[in-house]
A and B are shown apart, each in its own frame.
Chain A
Amino acid sequence: MSTSARLSILSILVAIGAVAAYVQLFRVAIIRNHPEGYVIAFALATALAALGVARAQRRRWPAWLVLGFSALLLIAGAWFNFVAARVPATPTALHVGERAPDFTLPDATGRPVSLVEYRGKKPVVIVFYRGYW
């Protein structure tokens, strides 16, 4: 196997490995909280693929194909992490040391639950979340 082919294969392994690791280890806080890790891995994959193109001698198109694949992942991953996933900083109604606003919402069985029910009884951790993340 030529050096170019080895570099191209390594590039694909790094790129696919980054996606698989992120999806599989998503529940591990350190992986989830460093999404720039997959962008760095895609950049590494692109660099390996570019080296593969530089080293290619006769049949060059497979190396170019791998370079296109990894560059596309790099652009898409960087856009997703640095642009799409940004949440604008807007002022919240919450301040440390002040009481949180009360609310009443239905639970999974439809029973209304109010924040005041816990007052004087238990600390409460409120998690606002959306979908998969």
Chain B
Amino acid sequence: MAELQGLGAQLSEAEKSGVEIVAISPDPNEESQKVAEGLHLGYRFLADRDLAVARRFGLVHQRGGPDGQDVPRPATIVLDRDGVVRWLSVSRNFQVRPDPGDVLRAVRAL
């Protein structure tokens, strides 16, 4: 959640309408969506309850959750208009996320 706020805060209004930010988590996403709307971030929160999409992307951290459950590996992926991966960051420490500036540079370079 914290990184999403950092990313949204640096996007201009024009950029917010020109790029779709899709946040995927196994968590119930109603709360996240409320937070995002409160901050005018304009993200879409998608619920990946059984981690099916995280698995397809190869982004599952097995038994990495606090109760030993599988959780997604924190990752940020920039896709161009054709759905091609242009930039990718997968965390090796779950506290660490890509710098929002680096993500924005990847988006602006498209």
Binding site for B on A (CB under 8 A): 26-30, 32-33, 35, 81, 85-103, 105-108, 113, 115-116, 118-133
Q: Is the CB of A123 within 8 A of B91?
A: no
Q: How far is the CB of A63 from chain B (nearest CB, A)?
A: 32
Chain B residues whose CB sits within 8 angstroms of the CB of A119 once the complex forms? 81-83
Chain B residues whose CB sits within 8 angstroms of the CB of A125 once the complex forms? 7, 19-22, 76-79, 103, 107
Q: 25 A-B contacts, Cβ less than 8 Å apart?
A: A29-B99, A29-B100, A35-B93, A81-B95, A86-B92, A92-B75, A93-B58, A94-B57, A96-B86, A96-B87, A97-B86, A99-B83, A100-B79, A105-B47, A108-B30, A108-B44, A118-B83, A119-B81, A121-B81, A122-B20, A124-B78, A126-B75, A127-B4, A128-B54, A130-B65
Chain A residues whose CB sits within 8 angstroms of the CB of B78 once the complex forms? 123-125
Q: Is B14 an interface residue (CB 8 A)?
A: no
Chain B residues whose CB sits within 8 angstroms of the CB of A127 once the complex forms? 3-4, 7, 21-24, 75-77
Known A-B contacts A94-B58, A125-B21; the reply to A85 vs B81 at CB < 8 A is no
A sample of 5 more A-B contacts (CB under 8 A), given A87-B73, A100-B84, A108-B47, is A87-B74, A107-B44, A118-B79, A128-B57, A130-B65
Binding site for A on B (CB under 8 A): 1-7, 18-27, 29-30, 32-33, 44-48, 52-54, 56-61, 64-65, 71-88, 90-97, 99-101, 103, 107, 110
Chain B residues whose CB sits within 8 angstroms of the CB of A33 once the complex forms? 95-97, 99
Chain B residues whose CB sits within 8 angstroms of the CB of A123 once the complex forms? 18-20, 78-81, 86, 107, 110
